[in-house]
Amino acid sequence: MKLSLQSSLNEEQVKSIHDRSLHLFENVGIDYKTPRALEILEGAGCAVDYDRTWASIPRDLVEWALKQAPRVVHLEARDPSLNVILNGDRPHHTNDSQGTRAIDLETGERRVSTLQDLKDGLRFADALDMLEIVHVMVAAQDVPSHVRTIRHFATAFTQTSKQVEIMIRSIPTEERDLQVGVIEKVGIGGNFLAERETRDFTETEYIPPWPPPGKTILEVAREDALEIYQNHVPPPLSDGTEQAFERIVFEADGALDV
């Protein structure tokens, strides 16, 4: 399956999203829970309210900050040939992350995700040529919570040689999709779930026109996944690296288990 490497947004759409973002930063503001952040913003000329933990970010300040950011970002992979360069020339594809449930390929059961599900998902992502950046796609809920994040990344580095780091679909830019008016109406700390627009979007499911005639998406996905799990082996780590990861996890387990 080929994914487009052409930009999903034209210049006018990018400008539209940017302008609306600046409008919200300045007119709705942002809720900052850290007093030090509010002090820094106030020193930079922002209007702040310490009681509400709120700050308004003027568009001029945002534009200045953007100019300080690097124009090109290098994301390093375990395999240097799979390094990713973010320079604005084209989109880069990744998977979504931190799911809490998985579908068992053997039984079809929908259940709580495990470390083995994460290993299988990472191996699947490693085998897909069009996937350039890999996220931890499910949480290993059979791993103690205090060490789970460290185990996630230790597992990711052993199961893929790609860059480890959330949508493989276009970004909507229509006025109805951006919902600037709803954001202004609800404001910081408000309840978006009470708005009709939120419920409308929640009820909408995206299903790509993918499966061939006579098969469902789940059937095709299951066949492809089983083939990958049976045949794809991620490139091995250099000598001693996997053992080093295990030591890090072991030491973190002892230090963080309180």
Quick: pLDDT tens for 57-82: 999 999 999 999 888 999 999 999 99
Which residues, in sequence order, are CB contacts of 236 under 8 Å at separation 6+? none
**Residue 101's domain spans which residues?**
70-169+238-258
Do 137 and 118 touch, CB atoms closer than 8 A?
Answer: yes
| Helix residue ranges per DSSP H, the chain | 11-27, 35-43, 59-68, 115-127, 148-159, 175-178, 180-186, 196-202, 217-231, 241-256
The pLDDT of residue 252 is 87
Is 214 a member of any domain?
A: no
Question: Which has more confidence, 182 or 237?
Answer: 237
Which residues, in sequence order, are CB contacts of 31 under 8 Å at separation 6+? 52, 53, 54, 188, 189
Is 104 a member of any domain?
A: yes
Cα–Cα dist 246/153, whole Å:
11
Over residues 217-233, the mean pLDDT reads 84
Over residues 155-183, the mean pLDDT reads 70
The pLDDT of residue 193 is 66
How many structural domains is the chain composed of? Answer: 1
Q: Given a cut of 70, is residue 1 above it in pLDDT?
A: no
Is 221 a member of any domain?
A: no
What does DSSP say about strands 30-31 and 54-56: parallel, antiparallel, or unpaired?
A: antiparallel
Which two structure tokens, joined as six digits, stand for 215?
């098969």
Over residues 78-88, the mean pLDDT reads 91
Is 255 a member of any domain?
A: yes
Cα–Cα dist 235/240, whole Å:
14
Is 108 a member of any domain?
A: yes
What does DSSP say about strands 73-75 and 84-86: parallel, antiparallel, or unpaired?
A: antiparallel
Is 76 a member of any domain?
A: yes
Place of tokens 């106030």: 42
Cα–Cα dist 21/39, whole Å:
23
State pLDDT tens for residues 21-31.
Answer: 999 999 999 99
Do 139 and 98 touch, CB atoms closer than 8 A?
Answer: yes
The pLDDT of residue 162 is 94
Question: Which has more confidence, 55 or 196?
Answer: 55
State pLDDT tens for residues 119-144.
Answer: 999 999 999 988 999 999 999 999 99
User: Given pLDDT bands bounded at 50, 70 and 90, which one contains residue 178?
Assistant: low
Across 87-101, 113-127, 204-218, which has the greatest mean pLDDT? 113-127
Is 187 a member of any domain?
A: no
Is 209 a member of any domain?
A: no
User: Given pLDDT bands bounded at 50, 70 and 90, which one contains residue 6?
Assistant: low
Place of tokens 């990018």: 14
Q: What is the mean pLDDT of the chain?
A: 83
